[in-house]
């Protein structure tokens, strides 16, 4: 077994225009002072990284790592959630998702997709230049408007949707394979990959592509009433990244999983800061350790009540206290009598 690395922090929800959230140096010092050992970098945030330069220059990546190391931190993964989302967008969401794209491709879905694909490919090469073995992303969605089947979905629609999604991601995943980096999809409602079965459908459409992996985030499973511990038993071989995020699901006689179009504060399912929700993190850290997960435990802060600053302050010790220093020996080794074939035969009555 291996010991999980951490605590680490996903910076996306913290970047802003005021110190200490307005530059790489400032946010690194802030995170390190809170006790974090790693940072997950959102690649759309150019105050943190020049993605194209990172893809093209090992020297730039060495300098970036050095700046971060000066604060006692490491880069855990590069994140492409926004760009990955734009690899596959149903036309119903065109105007909304244009907000994730640069001005020059807005209003042009084809150009927007091409830009997103290039961004995700840049991230593969940047990850390798930074010495990283995994990145985290979203899959995008063509089928999400048809998730709940009314009117009845046309026969073959789901298969066609996953076929097209795989067609778009296959060349990207091949680049990741060439450089030895995994794409860890965050299984998330709103994405075509949102649970175990949808992930399986995608991998099947990719003929089992080994670089299609999982960023495990139990909060999204709580909100779906999915057994997030059994999920680890089923898919541990594909889990290569881990977002530590809490959530709660409190259905009533008025609302359940779908939330009645309510704002987050009024929904039955809500994201919460670590320790304020219902996620069994002791069970999760135990199972991940049991299955030799040896990468990072990364806090993704999202909470409809608590401030991000308090969530971050409480998050580092919370994660540290859940990391299991795995044992190097069995508890009953003291009673080991050694190997004796003749004794074994006698014990078995042979």
Q: What is the pLDDT of residue 335?
A: 64
**pLDDT, tens digit, 9 for 90 and up, residues 139-168:** 999 999 999 999 999 999 999 999 999 999
Percentage of residues of the chain with pLDDT beyond 70: 99
Q: What is the pLDDT of residue 296?
A: 98
**pLDDT, tens digit, 9 for 90 and up, residues 291-332:** 999 999 999 999 999 999 999 999 999 999 999 999 888 777
Q: What is the pLDDT of residue 334?
A: 67
2-6, 221-225, 294-298, 326-330: least confident range: 326-330
Mean pLDDT in residue range 251-257: 97
Helices (H) and strands (E) in the chain, counts: 13, 10
Q: What is the pLDDT of residue 157?
A: 98
Task: Identify each DSSP E strand in 222-350 by its residue range.
Answer: 239-244, 246-249, 269-272, 296-299
| Separation of alpha carbons 192 and 199, rounded Å | 8
Q: Would you kindly state where each structural domain of the chain is located, as residue ranges? A: 5-347
**pLDDT, tens digit, 9 for 90 and up, residues 62-85:** 999 999 999 999 999 999 999 999
Most distant CA pair in the chain, distance: 80
Q: What is the pLDDT of residue 292?
A: 97
Mean pLDDT in residue range 77-100: 97
Q: What distance, in Å, lies between the first and last C-alpha atoms of the chain?
A: 35
Class of CATH domain 5-347: alpha beta
> Looking at the DSSP assignment, which residues form a beta bridge with residue 38?
8, 74
- Could you please report the per-residue DSSP string of 184-240? EEE--TTSS--SHHHHHHHHHHTTT-TTEEEEE-HHHHHTTT--HHHHHHHHGGGEE
| Separation of alpha carbons 344 and 35, rounded Å | 51
Residue 232, CB-side half-sphere exposure with 13 Å CA sphere: 20
């Amino acid at each position: 077994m291996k010991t999980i690395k951490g605590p680490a922090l996903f910076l996306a929800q913290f970047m802003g225009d005021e110190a200490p959230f307005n530059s790489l140096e400032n946010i690194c010092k802030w995170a390190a002072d809170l006790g974090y050992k790693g940072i997950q970098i959102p690649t759309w945030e150019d105050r943190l990284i020049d993605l194209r330069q990172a893809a093209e220059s090992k020297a730039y990546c060495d300098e970036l790592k050095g700046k971060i190391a000066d604060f006692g931190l490491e880069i855990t993964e590069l994140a492409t959630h926004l760009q990955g989302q734009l690899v596959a967008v149903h036309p119903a969401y065109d105007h909304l998702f244009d907000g994730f794209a640069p001005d020059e491709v807005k209003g042009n879905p084809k150009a927007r997709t091409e830009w997103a694909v290039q961004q995700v490919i840049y991230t593969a090469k940047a990850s390798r230049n930074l010495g990283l073995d995994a990145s985290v992303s979203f899959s995008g969605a063509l089928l999400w408007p048809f998730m709940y089947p009314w009117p009845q979905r046309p026969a073959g629609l789901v298969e066609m949707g996953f076929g097209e999604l795989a067609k778009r991601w296959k060349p990207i995943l091949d680049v990741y394979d060439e450089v030895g980096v995994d794409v860890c999809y965050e299984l998330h409602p709103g994405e075509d990959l949102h649970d175990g079965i949808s992930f399986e459908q995608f991998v099947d459409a990719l003929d089992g592509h080994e670089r299609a992996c999982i960023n495990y985030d139990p909060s999204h499973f709580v909100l779906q009433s999915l057994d997030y511990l059994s999920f680890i038993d089923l898919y541990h071989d594909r889990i290569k990244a881990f977002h530590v995020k809490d959530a709660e699901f409190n259905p009533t006689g008025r609302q359940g999983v779908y939330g009645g179009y309510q704002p987050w504060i009024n929904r039955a399912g809500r994201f919460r800061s670590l320790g304020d929700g219902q996620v069994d993190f002791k069970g999760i850290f135990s199972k991940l350790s049991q299955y030799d997960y040896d990468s990072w435990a990364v806090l993704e802060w999202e909470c409809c009540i608590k401030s991000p600053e308090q969530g971050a302050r409480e998050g580092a010790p919370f994660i540290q206290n859940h990391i299991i220093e795995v044992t190097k020996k069995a508890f009953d080794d003291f009673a080991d009598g050694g190997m004796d074939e003749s004794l074994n035969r006698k014990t078995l009555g042979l």
